[in-house]
Amino acid sequence: MLTVVIPAYNEEQVLDKTVQVLSELLASESIPYELLFVDDGSKDHTWERIVNAHQKNENVRGIHFSRNFGKEAAIFAGLSEARGDCVAVMDCDLQHPPGTLVEMYRMWVDGVEVVEGVKRTRGKESSMHRAATGIFYRIMSKAVKIDMSRASDFKLLDRKAVESLLEMPEKNAFFRAMSSWIGFVHGQVEFDVKEREAGESKWSTRMLITYAISNIVGFSTAPMQFVTGAGIVVFLIAIILGIQTIVRYCTGHAVEGFTTVILLILLIGSLIMISLGIIGYYIARIYEETKGRPRYIISRKV
């Protein structure tokens, strides 16, 4: 059986259509399925729609979070509740073409254990957004050692892969990168990102920036190495300046002027503060993980 995990946050406008399109398609392809909606604490009537869909079609199941925990949490809740032999993750807004889902399922039948949907085109985006995601994915690709520039959350995983993802204890998970990191037999399917069926994107620019920083910190210690690197550079400059100062002192010309002193204090001071901030971010992360709070809280199920 195929479980399709669908995170939904304020998606009342498209939910009915998603259920209809997916159930008709999977039934016509005679793929045994369940649609598992994870309502990420929606404030609209998404949950009523899910319950409604469940009453009409018992292949539809739903989980309701007690509040908004974010898409990553929703994906992991879906993975742990899924009953299928393979589990696909898909957006609720039909931006991930359902036809590709069938293609992924066929690949799984042929023995691929992790089928990744890769974006052929990124759909409509502003140039600012494109530049920012470019930088983000370059850092992430380095951290995971796999090209992630076209990665998406649209994936289909074998039971084994799902279990190994669920075994990872970290609370701040990044599904897209972790599903590459676990290994297994990988396959890729290209797809075109479609326009959103209805409603609007749930991500504000601020959310995206926080999300990017949190994922970089979760996957890479490169920012900490930046601290080391900056320290080394400043140390080299210090040696050169130090020698120059001593030579000048010995030859009777003391280094003159406050300008140098002020510049040095400003430069080193800001470097130290930035470094402390970066280290603080990692400490905050350790603190959060040691608290051991659950990734999400489920308040209702159907």
| Residue ranges that bind ligand UDP, judged by CB under 6 A | 7-9, 11, 40, 68, 70-71, 74, 91-93, 95, 201-203
9 binds, among ligand UDP, Mg ion, none (CB under 5 to 8 A by kind): ligand UDP
64 binds, among ligand UDP, Mg ion, none (CB under 5 to 8 A by kind): none
The span from the CA of 247 to the CA of 215, in Å, is 48
Compute the least distance from the CB of residue 200 to Mg ion, in Å.
9
Q: Which is nearer to ligand UDP, 6 or 143 (CB)?
A: 6
C-alpha atoms less than 13 angstroms from C-alpha of 252 in its C-beta half-sphere:
0
**CB 12, CB 43: distance < 8 Å:** no
How remote is the C-alpha of 211 from its chain's centroid?
7
Compute the least distance from the CB of residue 97 to Mg ion, in Å.
12
Q: Which is nearer to Mg ion, 11 or 113 (CB)?
A: 11
Tokens representing 195 are: 């326009």
CA quadruple 292, 293, 294, 296: dihedral positive or negative? Answer: negative
Q: Which H/E stretch holds residue 102? A: helix 98-109
Q: Which is nearer to ligand UDP, 159 or 196 (CB)?
A: 196
Q: Which is nearer to Mg ion, 28 or 126 (CB)?
A: 126
Compute the least distance from the CB of residue 153 to ligand UDP, in Å.
8
Which of 23, 46, 95, 100 lies at the binding interface for Mg ion (CB under 5 A)?
A: 95
- CA angle 284/178/65 to nearest 5° reads 70
Q: Which is nearer to Mg ion, 187 or 199 (CB)?
A: 199
Compute the least distance from the CB of residue 166 to ligand UDP, in Å.
18
Which of 11, 40, 81, 93 lies at the binding interface for Mg ion (CB under 5 A)?
A: 93
Instruction: Give residue for tokens 């069926």.
Output: 197
If we measure between CA atoms, which residue out of 57, 53, 63 comes closest to residue 9? 63
Instruction: Give residue for tokens 């494109």.
Output: 130
Interface residues with Mg ion (CB under 5 A) are 91, 93, 95
